[in-house]
């Protein structure tokens, strides 16, 4: 699948490739965003900034990785998953268990838990991939609910830690700024890898399976094999995000790590940004996290006698925004946004 | 010409976007970053206007906004702060301080818990609002995650809702880190178990004496979650074949753990199972909607058993309307009711009702006590330093010290406040942390049951009523 | 023993009757339009709260039956609006429909949650039409639930009659079999779908009216549990198959009650069983027990 | 000129309906052969059985001496049988080039494309089907005729020895049909064995030297087109029983 020679060639032309990419509109916009993200932690040393605001960025980055992994599986490969929290949660639990009860170092725990998530991807993908479309969606949803309920049971608490899970884990890093940069690097890595995959021949095959599985089969592609690859790759990054999330929180518990709501977070973020774009997942995640942040920040607004507590109504407001966005921008907000911006930019330059 | 116009429009739009984006960025980055939360009189209920931020002792309350337990914690703290501020605040080294209270939504009562929201709430309190003390917490798994933020910053945090033992075990096992953690409500789940056993043993004894040994079987029905585990193990032990009290051995005939997502039809099945197992007393250990369903079917089917146990929803005064009166005859544990658990309990109860228009939930009395306890320690030490000054002062509130000199310690509404110095947990047992057993009786009245001196000394408490058995039960037991 | 068996049978029938009503509409919408309506559970929940709110309003004192009429009308209209405003424009995209209906369900849940009675559990026992119970073989049969079961059977039969005999029913069947062909026959498929979604919402509302007065409002998130078990029912019976969803509902009902009664520690596993059913059925017979065609 | 495909006693039942009934034939390497029969005769089912999209109820299919009965479709493709579908199928959000690229990434496709590079190979195929100027656009906006060409291109991408073309002319205008015919002829000239179905006799008659006729799942005739066209049973099958041919 991977041809070393081609990779070498690509590496050789990398600088020029990069140069031409930077010159494109999306390229320069991406660089601009990355630069902003890079300088962000240096803007203020205020605790309120580093420990509250930056941490929201870190959270958004974790969810960006998670949502991008979902986008690879569903947006690119067309395998609808409603149970992505399986990998997220399993990895978080393994990571927490290894650190807390086996005293493994943090990074080794993350690596092991991610690998375990991949095995789960294999184990769950293998039987479930016979299903198509909404059936697969329900199958994965059911799988995640089974895990959730098993982990929740008080009578199994001796084995699965019960509803209270594992707590008092060390943080990912000593300060939020270091944590921010670790996640920043991993987010960039994830996105570079996932975008490259989606653009590669391998990605083309995955997309062909999404568009027409029978046709792909007729083109001599072993679709099952590629779907399992997609499942494993996706669960790898979901697992990575899950491990980071466990350490970000410092604890794991069934609802918080296996909950259906997390699977839906991934779906919402990825589809807000735009399905099959990968980078849309990042936009969706940041939008999602900061909308909530902003609504809490706005707090109570009094208009005449009417007091609207945006903090309290945040989920209702969020639901409305979600419905409106999906209703009027079915393909997410990233692509249309970029196109409009590009049009404006071209106009500005007089093109 | 047209091109130029378009270009101008584009410039305007991009400028507009830039300004809009800039404003948004300013709002998001700078507003919370540069200007921290500014405390003022509006955060200090009952305080005079125009006090400066330095004069405020800042309390942060975590909990679910718009949900009964979280609102309870807030309401209790608010009332305590208001009373102190209206009384003129507190003086530390001749400076007058007022109590400021603020809350953040940790969303912890959400069935779809998102742990990061609790963390974010705690971080906002600690880093943005710079609170000096924390109060609140209700859902164990959420609190387990976000308590770390307070511990990291060496801020005293008093839990007022989560009963799990693990929190205070932390204090014992890792004192250097968790010494800032305290619990003011409820008593831990092991002690809860102890109290319910004491009461049940006595109740069964009394009933058997009255109805010539009719009580032969008990059943339990509980949420299959971690918090019920110890209680259930206790019940299985005491009423099982190897119990220490021969009279109560082999009484347990039904043992029903259920998944919290049960429906009313499932509950109907369970009630029938309990009836088929010939239970005479059923012990629910329920925090969620199961209690309502249980009592609904109880009212319809009029089964030959009495319900005695834990039903968190039933602690609320609104439970009667919620169940349409179906909760009648249910006996359940609750931390606080209109009785003189301590001299301040009834005044607190009345003040709370006057302020908020409904009865206080256990998180309300717990947070009221928590705030008063901290303020007492501040007053006594004339210091705001969490460790060692305040912590060590608070640790003097031991059982022995309070019993010896009760007047030296702050009054508490939930029972005499005493905190085991090694675990910072509430001392269980009369007259410290103990629970009341209350029965719903006709006309939406909730009556405190005599505990036959098993949990509390009945003669010492006011408003103790009498146990009323359902008529069908009396018929069954007397014939 | 006989009591245990009665317990299992009666509760299984009861659960089955409720799920039959809820799942039938859900399955119908999927079968006719390929729409996976995640707000279906929320309709059920919302009807309950609509009833509660109206019962709490002084205006309706003495007019309790009117609340039912209003609640059913409102929920039917909400169902219709869901289709017209949200589902219809997005029909081509599976994921978009799923997300938008999820968003709606979430919104309804939140709206109920921030309403004054949203955070607590409630009984709407005032609407119970039958009180008391009768002992049969030492087992108490609750009259209200008998009423529910009978009504459920009647509604299912009427519904089957409606689908098979009425003009609208025939159009619905035509659209579900072949949308394009139905279009050629002059049937406005989109209008038929609208009716289907409204009917499904009405069925969910009816289920709520029949079941909740004898049960309880378990909080705004209660719709999800019913939605999930409807999945199990529909997967078991085959998507789009009405007989299948009725049969599936009773199978799920009996499985749950069997686990509740006869399996040690069963009650904590009872709601895992439908999910395990989903997985097993999906793996061995993806078209369901009664479904004919596998939907793409 | 060995036998490339050997079908023996092939039977396929759907429930009570027998779509293909005891069907046997052979195709020699390099042949250009047609399968004719009226609508519903079971032609597409035969193709589905050969290409593995359906499993036969009984009977054997051998390709180059290898038993491929019941093999998975992609494995059959990787042995050298490619097919097109009667209803056009395409990867609708991929560019035409990528549509072809997918085939070029199959096992046999890779063997060829290794030398020239996948992109070059895919472009050359796209050029050969005459769609190179539309390489970057997705197929959703293509006219029907181009979609048929794309189909053939996708099949060719897998570097087949035997190409099964299911109704390649249906729904096309006369000019479009000519284009496709040229394409198929060219492929045949390149040494690909071609097996083609059609329900309109006239289309195939001029194209292929040999046809097999089937009706209601049964084999009825085999031979040069003219001979088959005059076969009484074939005519009856097409025109209905009892019709006299003057």
pLDDT band at residue C204 under the 50/70/90 scheme: very high
Please judge whether B262 and C271 are an interchain contact, meaning their C-beta atoms are less than 8 angstroms apart: yes
CATH of residue D227's domain is 3.40.50.300
CATH fold of A51-348 reads ABC transporter involved in vitamin B12 uptake, BtuC (1.10.3470)
CB-nearest to B28 from A44, A261, A294 is: A294
- Collapsing DSSP to helix, strand or coil, D213 comes out as strand
Top pLDDT among B105 and A131 is at: B105
Q: Is the ipTM of this complex over 0.95?
A: no
Binary contact (B13, A344; C-beta < 8 A): yes
Sequence-separated (6 or more) residues with CB below 8 Å from residue C167: none
Residues D73 and D112 in one domain: no
Which residue range(s) make up the domain with D149?
88-159
CB pair distance less than 8 Å for A154 and B228: yes
D153 & D232 share domain = no
- Considering CB atoms only, which of A51, A168, A348 is closest to B10? A348
pLDDT at C294: 39
Residues B120 and B235 in one domain: no
Residue of D nearest to A198 (CA): D94
**Residue A13: is its pLDDT beyond 80?**
no
Residues D18 and D116 in one domain: no
Q: Which of A208, A214, A221 faces D94 most closely, judged by CB atoms?
A: A208
The pLDDT of residue A135 is 80
- Alpha helix (H) residue ranges in A79-160: 85-101, 106-128, 133-152, 157-160
Evaluate if residue C201 carries a pLDDT over 90.
yes
- The pTM is what? 0.92
The whole-number pLDDT of residue C280 equals 87
Clarify whether residues B36 and B178 are in a common domain: yes
Q: How confident is the model at residue A350 (pLDDT cuts 50, 70, 90)?
A: low
User: pLDDT at position A6, please?
Assistant: 67
| Chain A nearest CA to B4, separation (Å) | 8
Interface test with C, best of A70, A79, A330, A331 (most C CBs within 10 A): A330
- Tell me whether residue B429 is in a domain: no
> Which residues contact residue A205 at a Cβ distance below 8 angstroms, ignoring those fewer than 6 apart?
A216, A221, A226, D102, D105
As given in the structure block, the two tokens for residue B289 are 């909607």
Q: Are residues D169 and D69 in the same domain?
A: yes
Q: Are residues B253 and B293 in the same domain?
A: yes
Task: State whether B50 and B69 are in the same domain.
Answer: yes
- Cβ pair D107:A220 closer than 8 A: yes
B35 confidence band (pLDDT: 50, 70, 90): low
Residue B443 within any structural domain of the chain: no
Question: Nearest-5° angle of CA C206, CA C212, CA C216?
Answer: 160
Q: What percent of chain D has pLDDT over 70?
A: 96
Q: Which residues of D touch A213 (CB under 8 A)?
A: none
Look at residue D244 in the predicted model and tell me its pLDDT: 45
Structure confidence at residue C91 (pLDDT): 82
Query: For residue D245, what pLDDT band results from cuts at 50, 70 and 90?
Result: very low
CB nearest A44 (choices: B34, B124, B141): B34
Q: What is the pLDDT of residues B452-462, one digit of tens each?
A: 999 999 998 99
| Cβ neighbours around D3 below 10 Å, total | 14
Contact call for B226 and A162, based on CB within 8 A: yes
Structural domain ending residue among the three candidates D159, D189, D218: D159
DSSP string, B79-108: HHHHHHHHTT-EEETTEEEEEEEEEEE--T
Same domain, D147 and D168: no
Q: Which tokens is C220 given?
A: 């705004």
CA distance to partner chain C, nearest, from residue A20 (Å): 35
| Distance, CA of C208 to CA of C230 (rounded, Å) | 14
Report yes or no: B165 and B190 within 8 Å, Cβ to Cβ.
yes
Helix axes A279-298, A314-328, angle to 10 degrees: 140
Contact yes or no for B264 and C120 at CB 8 A: no
Residue B176 in any domain: the answer is yes
Partner residue facing B128 (CB), from A48, A253, A290: A48
Same domain for D150 and D169?
no
Distance from CA of C159 to the nearest CA of A (A): 26
Written as six digits, the tokens of B190 are 């092991």
Task: Decide which of B227 and B353 is more confident.
Answer: B353
Domain ends where: B354, B387, B408?
Answer: B408
Give the domain-ending residue among D116, D137, D159. D159
Residue D23, beta-bridge partner list: D10
Residues of B in contact with C261 (CB under 8 A): 269, 273
- pLDDT for residue C244: 87
The residue in chain B having the minimum alpha-carbon distance to the alpha carbon of residue C113 is B66
Which residue of chain A comes nearest to D50, CA vs CA? Answer: A218
CA C128/CA D244 separation, integer angstroms: 77
Q: Residue C268: which of B257, B263, B268 has the nearest Cβ?
A: B257
Provide the domain count of chain B: 2
Is the same domain home to D178 and D236? yes
Residues of A with CB under 8 A from a CB of C: 74, 80, 127-128, 130-135, 137-139, 141-143, 145-146, 149-150, 153-155, 260, 264, 267-268, 271, 275, 312-313, 315-316, 319-320, 322-323, 326-327, 330
Record: contact C270-B259, CB cut-off 8 A: yes
Phi-psi category of residue C237: left, alpha or beta, with phi > 0 → left and psi -120 to 50 → alpha: alpha
Asked if D99 and D91 touch (Cβ cutoff 8 Å), the reply is: yes
Which of B111, B301, B322 minimises the CB distance to C133?
Answer: B301
Total domains, chain D: 2
Lowest-pLDDT range of A204-208, B132-136, C275-279? C275-279
Domain that holds residue B170: 2-186+343-408
Residue C267: list chain B partners with CB under 8 A: 224, 256-259, 262, 266, 269-270
Residues of chain C in contact with residue A146, where contact means CB-CB under 8 angstroms, are 272, 275-276, 279
| Chain centre distance of CA C254 | 17
Kindly state whether A257 is in contact with chain B, defined as any CB-CB distance less than 8 angstroms. yes
Phi, psi of B445 (to 5 degrees): -100, 140
> What's the average model confidence in pLDDT over B260-288?
91
Does B277 share its domain with B397? no
The residue of chain B nearest to residue C267, with distances taken between CA atoms, is: B258
Cβ–Cβ gap A264/C103 under 8 Å: no
Domain ranges of chain A: 51-348
Say which residue the tokens 């009952």 belong to: B46
**Subunits with at least 3 CB pairs below 8 A relative to chain A?**
B, C, D
Q: Which residue of D has its CA nearest to A215?
A: D89
Q: Is the pLDDT of residue A21 over 50?
A: yes
Sign of CA dihedral B355, B356, B357, B358: negative
What gap in Å lies between CA C25 and CA C158, rounded to an integer? 13
- Same domain assignment for residues B369 and B326: no
Q: Are residues D18 and D65 in the same domain?
A: yes
pLDDT of residue C215: 86
- Cα–Cα dist B210/B207, whole Å: 5
| C4/B257 CB distance under 8 A | no
Element (DSSP H or E) covering residue A248: helix A223-249
The 10 Å CB-count burial string (b at 16+, else e) for D132-146 is eebbeebbeebeebb
CA distance C227 to A260: 13
Mean pLDDT of B31-37: 60
Please answer yes or no on whether C268 and A131 come within 8 Å at the CB atom. Answer: no
Contacts of C135 in chain B (CB under 8 A): none
Instruction: Indicate whether D62 and D134 sit together in one domain.
Output: no
Q: What is the pLDDT of residues B118-127, one digit of tens each?
A: 999 999 999 9
Higher pLDDT, C294 or A247: A247
Chains that touch B (3 or more CB pairs under 8 A): A, C
Cα(C105)–Cα(D14) distance, integer angstroms: 42
Q: Show which of D132, D159, D186 is a domain's final residue.
A: D159
Chain A: give the shortest CA distance to residue D151, in Å.
10
User: Do D220 and D167 share a domain, yes or no?
Assistant: yes
Residue B426 lies in a domain: no
pLDDT of D239 reads: 66
How confident is the model at residue A7, as a pLDDT? 66
Average pLDDT over residues C47-63: 89
Least CB-CB distance to D158: which of A219, A222, A276? Answer: A219
- Residues B353, B324, single domain; the answer is no
The stretches of B357-446 forming alpha helices (DSSP H) are 362-381, 391-395, 399-404
Based on the domain organization, do D174 and D52 belong to the same domain?
Answer: yes
Taking alpha carbons only, the member of D219, D214, D222, D208 closest to residue D8 is D219
Instruction: Tell me which residues of chain D have a C-beta less than 8 Å from any C-beta of chain A.
Output: 51, 53, 72-75, 77-78, 82-83, 85, 89-94, 98-99, 101-103, 105-109, 118, 154-155, 157-158
B near D: at least 3 beta-carbon pairs less than 8 Å apart: no
CATH number of residue B393's parent domain: 3.40.50.2300
Same domain for B172 and B121?
Answer: yes
Q: Closest chain B residue to A160 measured between Cα atoms?
A: B226
CB distance D85–A218 less than 8 Å?
A: yes
Question: How close B51 gets to chain A, by Cα (Å)?
Answer: 22
- When comparing pLDDT for A296 and C194, which is higher? C194
The reply to whether residue A204 touches residue D101, judged by beta carbons under 8 angstroms, is: yes
Q: Are residues D74 and D100 in the same domain?
A: no
Give tens-digit pLDDT for A224-272. Answer: 999 999 999 999 999 999 999 999 999 999 999 998 889 988 988 888 8
Contact between A155 and B224 using a beta-carbon 8 Å cutoff: yes
Residues of C in contact with B440 (CB under 8 A): none
Which residues of chain D neighbour A276 with C-beta distances below 8 Å? Answer: 93
From A205, A214, A276, residue closest to D102, measured CB to CB: A205
């Amino acid at each position: 699948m991977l041809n070393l020679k081609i990779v070498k060639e690509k590496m050789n032309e990398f600088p020029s490739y990069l140069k031409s990419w930077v010159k494109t509109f999306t390229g320069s916009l991406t660089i601009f965003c990355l630069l902003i993200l890079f300088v962000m932690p240096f803007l203020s040393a205020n605790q309120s900034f580093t420990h509250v605001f930056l941490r929201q960025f870190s959270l958004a980055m974790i969810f960006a990785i998670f949502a991008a992994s979902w986008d690879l599986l569903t947006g690119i490969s067309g395998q609808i998953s409603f149970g992505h929290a399986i990998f997220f949660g399993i990895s978080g639990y393994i990571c927490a268990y290894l650190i807390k009860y086996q005293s493994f170092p943090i990074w080794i725990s993350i690596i092991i838990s991610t690998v375990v998530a991949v095995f789960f991807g294999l184990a769950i993908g293998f039987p479930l991939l016979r299903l198509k479309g909404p059936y697969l969606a329900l199958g994965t949803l059911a799988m995640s609910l089974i895990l959730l309920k098993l982990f929740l049971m008080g009578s199994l608490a001796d084995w699965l830690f019960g509803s209270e899970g594992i707590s008092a884990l060390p943080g990912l890093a000593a300060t939020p700024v270091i944590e921010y940069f670790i996640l920043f690097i991993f987010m960039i890595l994830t996105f570079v890898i996932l975008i490259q995959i989606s653009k590669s021949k391998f990605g083309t095959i995955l997309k062909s399976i999404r568009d027409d599985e029978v046709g792909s089969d007729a083109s001599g592609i072993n679709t099952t094999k590629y779907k399992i690859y997609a499942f494993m790759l996706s669960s790898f990054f979901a697992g990575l995000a899950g491990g980071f999330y466990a350490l970000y929180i410092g604890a794991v518990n069934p609802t918080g790590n296996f909950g259906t709501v997390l699977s839906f977070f991934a779906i919402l973020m990825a589809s807000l940004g735009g399905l099959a774009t990968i980078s849309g997942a990042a936009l969706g995640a940041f939008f999602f996290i900061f909308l909530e942040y902003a609504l809490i920040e706005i707090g109570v607004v009094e208009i005449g006698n009417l007091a609207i507590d945006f903090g309290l109504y945040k989920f209702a407001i969020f639901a409305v925004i979600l419905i409106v966005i999906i209703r009027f921008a079915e393909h997410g907000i990233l692509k249309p946004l970029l196109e409009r911006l590009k049009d404006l930019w071209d106009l500005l330059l007089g093109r | 010409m047209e091109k130029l116009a378009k270009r101008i429009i584009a410039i305007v739009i991009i400028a507009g976007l830039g300004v809009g984006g800039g404003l948004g960025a300013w709002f998001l980055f700078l507003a919370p970053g540069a200007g921290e939360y500014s405390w003022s009189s509006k955060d200090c209920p009952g305080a005079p206007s125009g006090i400066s931020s330095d004069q405020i002792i800042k309390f942060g309350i975590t909990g679910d906004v718009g949900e009964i337990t979280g609102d309870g914690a807030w309401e209790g703290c608010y009332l305590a702060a208001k009373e102190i501020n209206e009384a003129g605040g507190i003086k530390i080294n001749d400076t007058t301080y007022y109590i400021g209270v603020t809350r953040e939504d940790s969303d912890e009562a959400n069935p779809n818990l998102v742990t990061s929201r609790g963390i974010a709430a705690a971080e906002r309190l600690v880093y943005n609002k710079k609170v000096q003390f924390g109060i609140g917490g209700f859902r164990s798994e959420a609190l387990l995650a976000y308590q770390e933020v307070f511990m990291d910053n060496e801020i005293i945090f008093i839990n007022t809702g989560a009963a799990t033992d693990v929190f205070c075990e932390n204090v014992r096992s890792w004192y250097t880190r968790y010494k800032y953690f305290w619990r003011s409500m409820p008593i831990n789940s092991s002690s809860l178990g102890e109290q319910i056993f004491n009461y049940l043993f006595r109740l069964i004894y009394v009933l058997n004496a009255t109805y010539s040994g009719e009580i032969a079987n008990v059943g339990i029905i509980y949420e299959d979650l971690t918090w019920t585990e110890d209680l259930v193990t206790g019940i299985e032990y005491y009423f099982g074949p190897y119990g220490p009290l021969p009279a109560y051995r082999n009484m347990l005939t039904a043992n029903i753990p259920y998944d919290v997502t049960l429906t009313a039809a499932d509950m109907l099945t369970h009630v029938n199972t309990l009836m088929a197992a010939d239970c005479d007393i059923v012990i629910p250990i329920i925090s969620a909607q199961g209690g309502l369903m249980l009592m609904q079917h109880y009212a319809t089917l009029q089964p030959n058993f009495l319900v005695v146990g834990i039903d968190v929803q039933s602690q609320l005064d609104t439970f009667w309307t919620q169940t349409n009166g179906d909760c009648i005859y249910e006996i359940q544990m609750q931390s606080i009711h209109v009785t003189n658990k301590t001299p301040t309990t009834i005044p607190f109860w009345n003040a709370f009702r006057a302020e908020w228009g409904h009865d206080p939930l256990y998180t309300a009395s717990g947070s009221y006590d928590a705030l008063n306890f901290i303020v007492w320690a501040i007053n006594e030490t004339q210091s705001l330093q969490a460790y060692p000054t305040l912590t060590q002062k608070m640790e003097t509130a031991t059982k022995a010290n309070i019993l010896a000199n009760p007047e030296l310690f702050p009054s508490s509404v939930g029972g005499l406040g005493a905190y085991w110095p090694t675990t910072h947990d509430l001392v269980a047992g009369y007259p410290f942390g103990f629970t009341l057993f209350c029965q719903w009786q006709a006309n939406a009245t909730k009556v405190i049951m005599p505990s036959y001196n098993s949990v509390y000394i009945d003669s010492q408490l006011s408003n103790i009523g009498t146990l009323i058995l359902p008529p069908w039960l009396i018929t069954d037991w007397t014939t | 023993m006989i009591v245990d068996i009665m317990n299992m049978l009666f509760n299984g029938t009861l659960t089955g009757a409720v799920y039959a009503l809820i799942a039938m509409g859900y399955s119908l919408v999927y079968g006719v339009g390929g729409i996976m309506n995640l707000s279906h559970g929320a309709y059920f929940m919302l009807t309950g709260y609509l009833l509660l709110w109206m019962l709490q309003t002084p205006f309706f004192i003495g007019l309790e039956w009117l609340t039912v009429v209003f609640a059913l009308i409102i929920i039917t209209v909400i169902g219709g609006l869901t289709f017209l405003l949200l589902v219809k424009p997005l029909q081509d995209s599976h994921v978009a429909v799923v997300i938008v209906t999820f968003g709606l369900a979430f919104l309804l849940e939140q709206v109920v949650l921030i309403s004054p009675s949203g955070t607590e559990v409630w009984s709407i026992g005032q609407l119970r039409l039958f009180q008391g119970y009768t002992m049969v073989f030492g087992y108490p049969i609750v009259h209200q639930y008998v009423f529910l079961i009978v009504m459920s059977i009647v509604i299912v039969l009427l519904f089957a009659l409606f689908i098979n005999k009425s003009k609208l029913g025939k159009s619905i069947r035509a659209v579900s079999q072949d949308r394009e062909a139905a279009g050629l026959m002059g049937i406005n498929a989109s209008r038929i779908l609208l009716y289907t979604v409204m009917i499904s919402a009405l069925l969910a509302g009816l289920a709520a009216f029949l079941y909740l007065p004898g049960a309880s409002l378990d909080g705004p998130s209660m719709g999800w549990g019913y939605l999930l078990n409807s999945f199990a029912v529909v997967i078991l019976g085959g998507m789009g198959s009405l007989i299948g969803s009725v049969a599936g509902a009773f199978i799920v009902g009996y499985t749950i009650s069997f686990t509740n009664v006869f399996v040690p520690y069963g009650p904590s596993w009872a709601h895992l069983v439908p999910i395990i059913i989903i997985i097993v059925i999906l793996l061995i017979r993806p078209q369901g027990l009664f479904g004919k065609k596998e939907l793409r | 000129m060995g036998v490339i495909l050997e079908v023996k006693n092939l039977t396929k039942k759907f429930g009570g309906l027998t779509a293909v009934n005891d069907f046997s034939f052979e195709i020699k390497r390099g042949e250009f052969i047609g399968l004719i029969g009226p609508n519903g005769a079971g032609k597409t089912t035969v193709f589905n059985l050969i290409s593995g999209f359906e499993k036969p109820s009984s009977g054997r299919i051998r390709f180059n001496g290898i038993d491929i009965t019941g093999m998975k479709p992609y494995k059959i493709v990787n042995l050298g049988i490619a097919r097109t579908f009667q209803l056009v199928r395409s990867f609708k959000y991929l560019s035409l080039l990528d549509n072809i690229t997918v085939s070029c990434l199959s096992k046999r496709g890779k063997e060829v494309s290794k030398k020239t590079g996948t992109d070059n190979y895919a472009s050359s195929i796209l050029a050969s089907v005459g769609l190179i100027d539309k390489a970057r656009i997705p197929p959703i906006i293509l006219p029907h005729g181009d979609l048929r060409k794309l189909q053939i291109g996708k099949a060719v991408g897998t570097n087949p020895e035997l190409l099964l073309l299911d109704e390649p002319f249906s729904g096309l205008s006369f000019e479009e049909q000519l284009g496709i015919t040229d394409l198929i002829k060219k492929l045949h000239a390149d040494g690909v064995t071609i097996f083609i179905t059609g329900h309109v006799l006239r289309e195939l008659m001029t194209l292929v030297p040999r046809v097999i006729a089937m009706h209601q799942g049964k084999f009825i005739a085999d031979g040069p087109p003219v001979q088959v066209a005059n076969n009484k049973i074939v005519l009856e099958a097409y025109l209905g029983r009892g019709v006299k041919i003057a």
